[in-house]
Amino acid sequence: MQASERPSASTGDVPDWLIPSRVYDILKWLGLIVLPALALFVGTVGPALGWTHVDAIVTTLNALGILAGALIGVSAIKQRLDLAA
């Protein structure tokens, strides 16, 4: 979405999908690259270094990645529906 297409804050028109493009990009980067890579790293290196609760940490990282993916997916679908209307 270009800056000229964005609703003005003074008009009170807020899009239903609500995730600004910068936040969308960050969530996408976290959900698709950072969190899965970090989960794999912790799952591989953690036991070798004697870290405790590695399984819980890996599960949490994977759950956060899924949450980020769900948020960007819902935002993308709502944006497409809004633009189609």
Residues of 3-16 as b/e, b for ≥16 C-beta within 10 angstroms? eeeeeeeeeeeeee
**Could you give the C-alpha distances from 28 to 5, 44, 56, 63, in angstroms and in order?**
22, 24, 23, 14
Look at the pTM and tell me if it is higher than 0.85. no
Which residue has better confidence, 24 or 65?
A: 65
Say which residue, 16 or 13, is predicted with more confidence. Answer: 13
As a whole number, mean pLDDT of residues 61-83 equals 83
Q: What is the pLDDT of residue 75?
A: 74
CA–CA separation, 46 vs 34, rounded Å? Answer: 17
Give the pair of three-digit tokens for residue 34: 């950072």
